[in-house]
Structure 1
């Protein structure tokens, strides 16, 4: 909560995401897909815990966290997980030498709506460039519309049901880059 009061545009929520939302975020990750799973903005780690509980091996998880305090806490809380201290909006540069193969999924808890739509779309494009074809970019929002407009930026998005058991209620969106003809 203190982190949100100190930096509300960087820390997206007053409280950590709940278990129901974390489980919904982990569900679209294909356990059989090869490659690392990249998590952007893990904060205190509720999504990380859900990904591990779902069966993602710790050595497959690459977390990108902006806050020094959260990054240090994540390293202690999740041994074997790679924690990269850096700006997720510079994912291409931050992860350039960290991924041995394309990512199988990107799971994001970033407060996307604090950035202009073109910057949000650029983030997705950068992440898709680091990922395997058809890899999902999984994002939640407290809003009712997709956090990255799909028509304007040529993404395919599937909005899941609202997770009412989260405080506040949230919706999970799964984005994919359309296959090139």
Structure 2
């Protein structure tokens, strides 16, 4: 992942002078909601503030460096929608964006978001209110501006493949077994040569060891080792974003290309 890849695509809309930042909501509403939910459910939220602009740009690289055809994007753990809004800006007619958010308060914010409502015509945007592990059972969600959503009791549908997955899940808040299941699911959901981005905050291993005791510290280190092995196998690059709060590192990975089928023997 290079700095050059993070430049705005020439045909993507730029914020107008004097307008509010399209990654945020008016009057700091995103930050207030995010903080409230972080204090209420920090294990699933994993941060005290939404991702900053530089981190958002690093996470959406695969959607801006893309083939010249419609693509399908899955965003997991959308929160208040800072990444979702950026994806909605860069996607083109014919593209599909499927958003998965388990927190119903965040999901409601997404359904009411004016930036998402004003996306380009022809960009399909759907929402599933569930954990990503439940996604194969819940189908592809409902249009994001509709009042209804699909949950764990919905009719199962075949798994869909995605060209891009952007994950905002706080992996180091989870146990190793759950992280392994999610990473395996991402590989299953990605199309061949599909790309995945996610991020982690810097310094969390030391902080977790000092503040949570040896047992949680050991669990945290086990998750970090699992992620490093995953990145060593599938990684394309990483970018450190010092200006985020807290500083973070974004990772870019690619799913493997299937091996060609063996040639039929000559008869």
| Shorter-chain TM-score range | 0.7 to 0.9
Q: Size of the alignment, in residue pairs?
A: 181
Work out whether 1:55 is the aligned partner of 2:91.
Answer: yes
- Asked if 1 retains the 8 angstrom alpha-carbon contact of 2:70 and 2:92, the reply is no
Structure 2 equivalent of residue 157 of structure 1: 235
Q: Is the counterpart of residue 21 in structure 1 residue 55 in structure 2? A: yes
Gaps of 5+ in 2: 1-34, 118-123, 141-155, 206-222, 260-267
- CA RMSD in angstroms comes to 2.8
Return structure 1 stretches of 4+ with deviation > 6 angstroms: none
1:162–1:171 Cα contact (<8 Å) kept: yes
Contact 2:136 2:157 (8 Å CA) reproduced? no
Report 1 or 2 for greater relative contact order, CA contacts < 8 Å, sequence distance ≥ 6.
Answer: 1
Q: Write the deviation string for residues 141-176 of structure 1: whole angstroms up to 9, x where unpaired.
A: 113699543437984123422011211111111223
Aligned residues of 1:61 and 1:82 also touching (Cα < 8 A): yes
Deviation of 1:13 (Å) = 1.0
TM-score (norm 1): 0.85
Q: Are 2:127 and 1:83 aligned?
A: yes
- TM-score scaled by length of structure 2: 0.60
Equivalent residue of 1:119, what SS? helix
Rounded Cα–Cα distance in structure 1 between residues aligned with 2:128 and 2:99: 6
In structure 2, do the counterparts of structure 1 residues 34 and 124 end up closer, same or farther at CA, with 3 Å as the change threshold?
Answer: farther
Q: Gapped runs of 5+ residues in structure 1?
A: none
